[in-house]
Amino acid sequence: MTSNAAIPDEDGPLYVSAKKVYPQSVKGRFRRIKWALLAFCLGIYYFLPFVRWDRGPALPDQAVMVDFERRRFYFFFIELWPQEVYYLTGLLILAAIVLFLMNAIAGRIWCGYLCPQTVWTDLFFAVERLIEGDRRDRIKLDSQGWSASKIGLKAAKHFVWLMIAWWTGGAWVLYFSDAPTLVKDLATFQAPFSAYLWIGILTATTYVFAGHMREQVCLYMCPWPRIQAALTDSDALNVTYKFDRGEPRASVKQAAQLKAAGQPAGDCVECKQCIAVCPTGIDIREGTQLGCIQCGLCIDACDDVMGKLGRPTGLIGYDTLKAVEARACSTTPPALRLVRPRTILYAAIIAFVGGAMLYQLATRAFLGMSVVHERTPLFTTLKDGSIRNAYTLRIANKRSEERPVAITLDAPMGTTWEVVGAQQTADWRPIVVIPPDSTLDVRLFVTMPQPQAKGPSQMIQIKAADLSFGENATVKDNFFAP
């Protein structure tokens, strides 16, 4: 038998099971900001699908909608086609760099105030507090055995949670179809199965993430805390415990004694209110850490304590590492440096990408054309020896009106052309009518007499001229000959 040697302390269990966090309610500046942002963000999320935007009779009148069936994305006055998803790439780049910039200026603003995980968890905490009571009551309730009243409270909480989660899923699917119609269809069980399925999936994720996993998502699942740890620097504002002022910690009584004895005493009274209110259950006094989502609630909690004690607030507050360290060494803290190489770089990237997207959006064409040369046959010899090439033109009309488009050619003299199914106009230009908001494939035959039809190939230019809006689209392709 081997001896069961004592295991050194630092070699403790590798697995720590999650400890349930019971955040206490708190009032104050940051709590108010958080309530306002919560109402604003959720208001947008739940009600935006019902906002209408008139686009004429042919198109849906929902302000924001992803229309998979017709393959369009609508955002107020913007309508994007599938080939324009690169805007999404632009948005993603912008989103990333804006996050970087926020981080360089004031830490995890996103995590603390705006992230859906934070916002919904905050809402679920509010429900929990309303039904089960504040921190102490909840701890007590959980330690009790099951009783009718406990079952009632728990059932009520989970019911409300599930309702919120269900509404969250319901709002999600409304972004993919006409909202009022879909609501009616959902209620009468006429909606497509996929709608119910997605509501189910999002109900489950909301309920599990915001109700049960909470800070676990931030601590174990989310990559952003890791990334932001690499992005922050000592000039960035972060929720900080100002240890230079708080240490050494002492209760009010101890502090008085210490001071009387001529010894230093910090402002932190070790009341642990900052820990009690923290939604991730950490101790900010251990320094900036991965578990801190920088929600600012510990600032409110500590300010409250300091206020009651008649000490200046801001023992915990937004501060930079540089300033704290400078004060700890009793030197004057440097001024806040918002303009630094990294903030300039981020701002420049944001301006560049945003500007490029705006420019592209403002100048984008509403008439588009692409061409595919017929491969079988590459060319056809006609009776009189002239050569004909066939092309397929794909003409896109991005307006909500039907548009007649004339097809003309830039090619050697004597070249004639013809479009299958087109009406001819007096000046010999074939006209095709493109239905509103769609693309049309038409076949174009170009015939070149001898000797203009020189092999093996020459460049020709095909032009589509919109007769109602005066827009043009041109494409180039080869004309092949033997």
Partner 1 sequence: MTNPNHTAHEPDFDAVTGQSTTGHSWDGIRELNTPLPRWWLWTFYVTILWSIGYWLVYPAWPLISSHTTGLFGYSSRAAVAVEVQALEQRRDQQAAGLKTASLEEIKASPDMLRVALARGKASFAENCVGCHGQGGTGAPSYPNLTDDDWIWGGALKDIEATIQHGIRWTQNADTRMGEMLAFGRQGMLKKDEIEQVVDFVRSLAKLDTAKGANLAAGKTLYDANCASCHGEAGKGNREVGAPDLTDAIWLYGSSREAMIESVHNGRAGIMPAWASRLDPVTIKALTVYVHSLGGGQ
- Residue number with CB closer to ligand SF4 (268 or 462): 268
Q: Which stretch binds ligand SF4 (CB under 6 A): 72-80, 115-123, 255-263, 273-281?
A: 273-281
Minimum CB separation from ligand SF4 for residue 221, in Å? 16
CB under 6 A: which stretch of 115-123, 293-301, 317-325, 372-380 binds ligand SF4? Answer: 293-301
Q: Which residues pair with 477 in a beta bridge?
A: 460
Nearest to 254 by CA among 242, 270, 241, 243: 270
Show the tokens assigned to 217.
Answer: 């998502």
Residue 107 binds to ligand SF4 (criterion: CB under 6 A)? no
CA-based nearest residue to 294, from 209, 225, 346: 225
In the complex, what is the shortest distance from the CB of residue 371 to ligand SF4, in angstroms, rounded to a whole number?
Answer: 58
Whether residue 475 contacts residue 461, with contact meaning beta carbons closer than 8 Å, is answered with: yes
Per the CB < 8 A criterion, the answer to whether 195 and 179 are in contact is no
Question: Can you tell me the distance from the alpha carbon of 187 to that of 419, in angstroms, rounded to the nearest whole number?
Answer: 49
Closest approach of Cβ 111 to ligand SF4, in Å?
Answer: 8
Prior bond to 341 cis, omega within 30?
no
**Residue 430 Cβ vs partner 1, minimum distance, rounded to whole Å:** 13
**Binds ligand SF4 (CB under 6 A): choice among 131, 165, 179, 298:** 298
32 is a contact residue toward ligand SF4 (CB under 6 A): no
In the region spanning residues 304 to 343, those forming contacts with ligand SF4, defined by CB under 6 A, are 305, 315-316
What part of residues 442-471 is at the interface with ligand SF4 (CB under 6 A)?
none
Q: Is 255 in the site for ligand SF4 (CB under 6 A)?
A: no
- Give me the torsion for CA of 251, 254, 256, 259, rounded to 10°: -120
- Residue 280 binds ligand SF4, judged by CB under 6 A: yes
Taking CB within 5 to 8 Å according to partner kind, which of ligand SF4, partner 1, none is near residue 385?
Answer: partner 1
Alpha helix segments (H runs only) across 177-315? 179-187, 193-206, 215-216, 224-231, 243-246, 252-260, 273-277, 297-309
Q: Distances in Å between the alpha carbon of 304 and those of 33, 271, 301, 446?
A: 16, 11, 5, 82
Query: Which C-beta is closer to ligand SF4: that of 84 or that of 283?
Result: 283
Rg (CA), the chain: 33
What's the CA gap between 321 and 329, in Å, rounded? 12
The reply to whether 109 sits near ligand SF4 by the rule CB under 6 A is: no
Q: What is the footprint of ligand SF4 within residues 235-254 (CB under 6 A)?
A: 239, 241, 246
Residues in the site for partner 1, rule: CB under 8 A? 1-2, 4, 7, 11-15, 374-377, 380-385, 388, 390, 420-421, 433, 443, 445
Residue of the chain from 42, 153, 210, 301 that contacts ligand SF4 (CB under 6 A): 301
Q: Which residues sit at the interface with ligand SF4, rule CB under 6 A?
A: 239, 241, 246, 268-274, 277-280, 282, 284-285, 292-298, 301-302, 305, 315-316
